[in-house]
Amino acid sequence: MQTELFEVDPLSDNRKLYARAAEALGAGALVGIPTETVYGLGADALNPEAVARIFEAKGRPSFDPLIIHVHHGSEVEKYTAVPEGLKDLVHTLASRFWPGPLTLVLPKADIIPDIVTSGLPTVAVRVSAHPAMRGVAKALGRPIAAPSANRFGHISPTSASAVQKELGGSIEMILDAGACSEGLESTIVRPVLDEKGKPSLELLREGPVTREQFRNLVKVVRRKPSCRPVSEESPADAPGQLTSHYAPRKPMLLLEPGENFAPVEGVKYGLLSYEGTSALAREGDWAEVVAMSPGSGRLAEAAVRLFALMRQMDENEAIDVIVAESVPESGLGRAIMDRLRRASAVRE
């Protein structure tokens, strides 16, 4: 299969291109579509056969549910069954953070196929801030199931070229809108009623919308990691919950705060540094040093650059092992550290 690449013109409304992509989706095709976070691998969410192709193309296990994208918050009620006690909270979150990098896990409507949700009674839904994803969803007139457009467990793609390297030849189309503006996958939350019947939020995945941004709206609970194994019989209850994820093909070692680095003789290391100015970056014998936020230590810049730099180091043949410095674990730094920990987790 030849994968066609189409450039999204930022100075045009691109409606014809979005209509073409929607037509392809409607025919069961897979399309790489940019969002503000990462590029998504889109399929018609109401077509089970098309959604099955997402799992096949990515090598994604069927017990890992997908996010669906809609073009406007008003569409959510078509595809969810939010209980009365949570409707005000859902409306508040949608009004405050959509379009944007926030995913809500909500009770699903019967119209959503079980393959999208891995058989769970909930569906993860969001409205992207990227005009391409919203434009294609509007042209399609149905939700788009769209996990990150990469092989399962690998580094998430923040450019069309990364999608091409990962999935070229196995999907029909990629929309190229340049680099993503956020660089980290969306924050995932689940509105719930607490033991007193009051609305609260479970924070399931850290992301660009930080927990501090919720505090004046609702009580936030950081759910403790589950000890149960995730499997086809016991699926993850939201996307992005696996311990090992977002990982390069090469081994990756994360230095937690205060942890020293002890190199092994004969191994060639590359350093993924926070600012590039640490003693470790200056004094170590590195095959390559790259900085997430060169010299400035800005978490927003580090988030945008993280996956692209991980991919750069993964493709450097002079490196055997990637070593990553930690970043300050506050605000957006929690999301960055979440991705670094999952990328460096031991894979079985």
Q: Is 234 annotated as a binding residue?
A: no
Which residues face 316 on adjacent strands? none
Report the alpha-carbon distance of residue 285 to residue 279 in Å, rounded.
12
Q: Is 269 annotated as a binding residue?
A: no
Q: Is 335 annotated as a binding residue?
A: no
Q: Is 146 annotated as a binding residue?
A: yes
Given a contact cutoff of 8 angstroms between Cβ atoms, the answer to whether 34 and 136 are in contact is no
Q: Is 246 annotated as a binding residue?
A: yes
Burial level of 267, CB count in 10 A (0-12/13-18/19+)? exposed
Residue 259 tokens read as: 């942890």
Burial level of 205, CB count in 10 A (0-12/13-18/19+)? buried
Q: Is 277 annotated as a binding residue?
A: no
Report the alpha-carbon distance of residue 122 to residue 116 in Å, rounded.
10
Write the DSSP symbol of residue 328: -
Given a contact cutoff of 8 angstroms between Cβ atoms, the answer to whether 26 and 167 are in contact is no
Q: Is 298 annotated as a binding residue?
A: no
Which residues face 123 on adjacent strands? 106
Q: Is 142 annotated as a binding residue?
A: no
Q: Is 274 annotated as a binding residue?
A: no
Annotated binding site for L-threonine: 37, 69, 122, 126, 146, 186
Annotated binding site: 37, 60, 69, 122, 126, 146, 148, 156, 186, 205, 246
Annotated binding site for ATP: 60, 148, 156, 205, 246
